Amino acid sequence: MSVSCIIGEDSSLKFHINDILKKKEIMEQILIENIARVSTLAKSPYNEQINDLLEISKILNDHMISDVTEIPCKRCNDKIKLRFMRLHIAKHFVNKEIKQNQNLCGYCGDIGCSIDLVVTSGKGNYSNYGPKSDCKYFRKFSIKPAEAASISYPTTNRPVICKICSQVYWSYNMAEHYNINHPQDQCPVYFSEKEASNLKSFDI
């Protein structure tokens, strides 16, 4: 894990967390070494201490996810940096390694995370939009640049508004959304064959 992280993408509170990371690693090691031993005890003050430590560890974990934190893919278990997880999931999608579903989360590949579009800056015609989601793997990005696949980030999977029902769906899920909700209508094309083939050969 990188030792130089920023807590929260939009936080002004920036500081190095080497010390916290080290302490956390030591703490987790102690936990691993001791959990087996204490698990035989139904209830003891020691057990309560372990619970406290686990709680602290969880809080630290929740706050330490940054762009470069490696997190496990829920689909294949590979460790992927948070900033590349949307790309990694997109690759699973075009490789047809995930069953199509209109509610497939573009961040984590699971079903059930919310997705919405919100104004992040500007006003009216000059508004900039970004995603909003309760996904644990949520990461901010700007919609406008994401509409074109780049060489370093060759996916356009992003939240879009359905022109028919005005609900927000991930663009890769739109075809399935039309299949289910608007079978009489032609789904606009949201990603090209070229994007799919570039993504298939991208190493992520």
Is residue 85 close enough to count as binding Zn ion by CB under 5 A? no
* Candidate residues 118, 148, 165, 189; the one interacting with Zn ion per rule CB under 5 A: 165
d(CA 83, CA 85): 6
Tokens of 126: 């000059």
Q: Which of residues 51-70 bind Zn ion (CB under 5 A)?
A: none
CB of 104 to Zn ion, least distance (A): 9
d(CA 52, CA 48): 6
DSSP 124: G
* Candidate residues 17, 65, 104, 105; the one interacting with Zn ion per rule CB under 5 A: 105
Is residue 170 close enough to count as binding Zn ion by CB under 5 A? no
Is residue 180 close enough to count as binding Zn ion by CB under 5 A? no
CB of 171 to Zn ion, least distance (A): 13
**Phi and psi based region of residue 190 (left: phi greater than 0; alpha: psi -120 to 50; beta: remaining):** alpha
Phi, psi of 159 (to 5 degrees): -70, 135
CB of 4 to Zn ion, least distance (A): 26
Paired residues of 129 in beta bridges: 119
Question: Toward Zn ion, which CB reaches closer, 181 or 198?
Answer: 181
> 117-156 mask for Zn ion (x: CB under 5 A)?
------------------x---------------------
Is the CA virtual torsion 80, 175, 100, 132 positive or negative?
positive
DSSP 139: -
CB of 81 to Zn ion, least distance (A): 12
Question: Toward Zn ion, which CB reaches closer, 106 or 156?
Answer: 106
Is the CA virtual torsion 144, 147, 151, 157 positive or negative?
positive
CB of 114 to Zn ion, least distance (A): 9
Closest among 113, 70, 65, 66 to 88, alpha carbons compared: 70
Q: Interface residues with Zn ion (CB under 5 A)?
A: 73, 75-76, 78, 105, 107-108, 110, 113, 135, 162, 164-165, 181
